[in-house]
């Protein structure tokens, strides 16, 4: 989203255009059939035929099935210069209209190229002509809020049930989890019954009811009384990102966990070792996972060690900036290109879960070190904040933040539309 000042962040509502919306073989009663042609008047349902391209089928074959002769179908496809007849996608929706009851051949064809893009083919005295139509989107913002009981999906669905269609609700959940709070909140483990959320998202709509969710421009999570705000901010000197109310990036330098795992088999601290049969400090976290599960680097860095390390088995150690490092033990194998001196990026696969060294089953032993000392990864990684906005941009950020958070709170029954957060 482009940077807007407090006065400039507004969305204009464009007048709707009556359009013909095609769905892949939908019930006729659900379509605005009379809107195929604004000047054609009421169109009997029997004159409209809906179809879609089957796997391996040509558009000519679909048109023939809908009532065109093979010659007419061929001429119609030739007139569609914006279509490549050799690259017609499976499932492409097509509607055929016979506007004259006494005419044995259809007079209009409408092909839906995208949700907002239609190709009209009209038969006249001189043959078929094409007309390309792009539908205008009406853009505004939508604010929803709710309480989390079981999971974020259900909370958003319950809060937006009468406001947004299900696919738009799902888009909001995914954007919250993957775009806004990916590095700050583990949505599968950090959420508790009674936690609350607020979200303000860009919403674009077509006159046929289609809704598309754009950027989430502001959000707030209340996790057991701790609020984590998020504001989308960008300008010509700073790439778009999400920041908290103090202007710190929510995109932290590290992933919270390095793999998809089943459960934590051993936490950080004192434990009874299952092989050595004695109590000793456990300087990391053990993540139980299937053998062969990919292990990712939690952040950018340089591999300082990739090899056998006694009880660790196959071990990778990565040095990260600012005195941080990470270790990954009991690996079955290393990923291609992983060796001492190799540079890795956040999220890159570096190895695969195994049970080498002192291990009773497949799992990853993961350590996070700060200045050479092992720290509890679940605590240390949560406290590593992102880069702050430069001082020269803070005044601009403050203006955008106050306006967007004001919109969020006002739109979800919170504080007044104008709110000072610092």
pLDDT at 85 over 60: yes
Distance of CA 160 to the CA centre of its chain: 18
Residue 339 lies in a domain: yes
Look over the chain and give the mean of its residue pLDDT values, rounded to a whole number: 81
3-state secondary structure 271-323: EECCCCCCEEEECCEEEECCCCCEEECCCCEEEEEEEECHHHCEEEEEECHHH
The enclosing domain of 154 has a CATH number of 3.10.450.350
- Segment 351-362 mean pLDDT: 92
Q: How confident is residue 205, by pLDDT bands cut at 50, 70 and 90? A: very high
3-state class (DSSP) for residue 210: coil
Helix (H) / strand (E) containing 229: strand 226-235
Half-sphere exposure of 21 (CA within 13 A, CB side): 18
Decide: 145 and 155 in contact? Cβ < 8 Å: no
Residue 258 lies in a domain: no
CA distance 133 to 388: 45
Q: How confident is residue 272, by pLDDT bands cut at 50, 70 and 90? A: low
Predicted TM-score (pTM) of the model is: 0.60
**What are the DSSP E strand ranges found in 70-174?**
93-97, 108-114, 117-124, 127-134, 138-147
- Segment 144-162 mean pLDDT: 91
Please identify, among 94, 114, 134, the residue that sits at the C-terminal boundary of a domain: 134
CA distance 100 to 98: 6
Which of 121-125, 251-255, 356-360, 380-384 has the least mean pLDDT?
380-384
CA distance 31 to 346: 47
Helix 152-159 / helix 166-174 crossing angle, nearest 10 deg: 140
Decide: 243 and 263 in contact? Cβ < 8 Å: no
Q: What pLDDT, on a 0 to 100 scale, did the predictor assign at position 39?
A: 38
Q: What pLDDT, on a 0 to 100 scale, did the predictor assign at position 387?
A: 73
Q: Are residues 376 and 272 in the same domain?
A: yes
Which of 68-82, 97-111, 324-338, 407-421 has the least mean pLDDT?
407-421
Q: How confident is residue 252, by pLDDT bands cut at 50, 70 and 90? A: confident
For residue 166, the enclosing domain spans: 1-14+145-252+388-422
Residue 22 lies in a domain: no
- Segment 74-82 mean pLDDT: 90
pLDDT in tens, 363-376: 999 999 999 898 88
Residue 21 lies in a domain: no
Which of 98-112, 203-217, 340-354 has the least mean pLDDT?
98-112
CA distance 184 to 34: 50
Is 308 or 68 the better-scoring residue by pLDDT?
Answer: 308
Q: Are residues 109 and 35 in the same domain?
A: yes
Strands 324-334 and 343-344: unpaired
Sequence-distant (6+) residues with CB within 8 A of 298 are: 254, 255, 257, 258, 318, 326, 346, 368, 381
Q: Are residues 187 and 203 in the same domain?
A: yes
Decide: 325 and 317 in contact? Cβ < 8 Å: yes
Distance of CA 299 to the CA centre of its chain: 21
Q: How confident is residue 277, by pLDDT bands cut at 50, 70 and 90? A: low
Q: Are residues 169 and 318 in the same domain?
A: no
3-state class (DSSP) for residue 154: helix
DSSP sequence for 362-414: SEEEEEEEETTEEE-HHHHTTT---PBPPGGGHHHHHHHHHHHHHHHHHHTT-
Q: What pLDDT, on a 0 to 100 scale, did the predictor assign at position 234?
A: 87
Q: How confident is residue 325, by pLDDT bands cut at 50, 70 and 90? A: very high
Residue 176 lies in a domain: yes
The CA-atom distances, in angstroms, between 135 and each of 16, 42, 96, 209, 419 are 9, 22, 20, 12, 37
pLDDT in tens, 4-44: 322 222 222 222 222 333 333 333 223 333 343 433 445 55
Q: How confident is residue 251, by pLDDT bands cut at 50, 70 and 90? A: confident
pLDDT at 270 over 80: no
Q: Are residues 325 and 362 in the same domain?
A: yes
Residue 20 lies in a domain: no
CA distance 65 to 63: 5
Decide: 172 and 159 in contact? Cβ < 8 Å: no
Q: What pLDDT, on a 0 to 100 scale, did the predictor assign at position 103?
A: 65
The enclosing domain of 270 has a CATH number of 2.70.70.10
pLDDT at 385 over 90: no
Decide: 217 and 404 in contact? Cβ < 8 Å: yes
Q: Which of 151, 144, 100 is nearest to 123 (CA)?
A: 100
Q: What percent of the chain has pLDDT over 90?
A: 44
Q: Are residues 64 and 126 in the same domain?
A: yes
Q: What pLDDT, on a 0 to 100 scale, did the predictor assign at position 190?
A: 82
């Amino acid at each position: 989203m482009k940077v807007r000042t407090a006065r400039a962040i507004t969305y204009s509502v464009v007048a709707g255009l009556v359009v013909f919306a095609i769905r892949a073989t939908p019930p006729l009663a659900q379509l605005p059939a009379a809107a195929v042609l604004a000047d054609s008047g009421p169109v009997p349902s029997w004159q409209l035929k809906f179809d879609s391209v089957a796997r391996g089928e040509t558009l000519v074959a679909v048109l023939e099935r809908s009532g065109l002769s093979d010659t007419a179908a061929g001429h119609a496809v030739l007139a569609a210069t914006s279509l490549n007849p050799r690259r017609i996608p499976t499932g492409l929706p097509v509607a055929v209209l016979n506007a004259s009851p006494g005419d044995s051949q259809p007079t209009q064809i409408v092909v839906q190229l995208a949700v907002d893009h239609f190709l009209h083919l009209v038969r006249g005295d001189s043959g078929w002509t094409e007309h390309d139509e792009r539908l205008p989107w009406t853009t505004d913002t939508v604010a929803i809020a709710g309480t989390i009981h079981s999971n974020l999906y259900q909370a958003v669905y319950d809060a937006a049930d009468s406001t947004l269609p299900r696919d738009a609700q799902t888009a909001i959940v995914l954007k919250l989890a993957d775009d806004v709070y990916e590095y700050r909140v583990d949505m599968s483990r950090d959420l508790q019954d009674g936690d609350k959320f607020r979200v303000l998202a860009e919403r674009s709509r077509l006159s046929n009811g289609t809704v598309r969710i754009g950027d989430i421009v502001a959000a707030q999570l209340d996790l057991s009384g701790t609020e984590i705000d998020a504001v989308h901010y960008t300008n010509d000197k700073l790439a778009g990102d999400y920041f908290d109310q103090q202007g710190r990036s929510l995109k932290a330098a590290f992933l919270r966990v390095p793999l998809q795992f089943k459960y934590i088999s051993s936490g950080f601290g004192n434990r009874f070792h299952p092989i050595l049969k004695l109590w000793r400090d456990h300087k990391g976290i053990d993540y139980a996972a299937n053998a062969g599960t990919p292990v990712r680097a939690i952040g950018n860095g340089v591999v300082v060690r990739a090899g056998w390390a006694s009880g660790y088995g196959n071990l990778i150690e990565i040095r990260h900036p600012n005195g941080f490092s990470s270790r990954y033990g009991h690996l079955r194998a290393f990923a291609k290109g992983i060796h001492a001196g190799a540079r890795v990026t956040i999220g890159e696969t570096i190895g695969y879960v195994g049970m080498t060294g002192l291990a009773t089953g497949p799992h990853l032993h993961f350590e996070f070190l700060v200045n050479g000392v092992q720290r509890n990864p679940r605590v240390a990684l949560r406290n590593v904040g992102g880069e702050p906005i430069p001082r020269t941009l803070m005044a601009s950020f403050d203006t955008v933040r106050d306006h967007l958070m004001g919109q969020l709170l006002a739109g979800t029954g919170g504080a007044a539309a104008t709110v000072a957060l610092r």
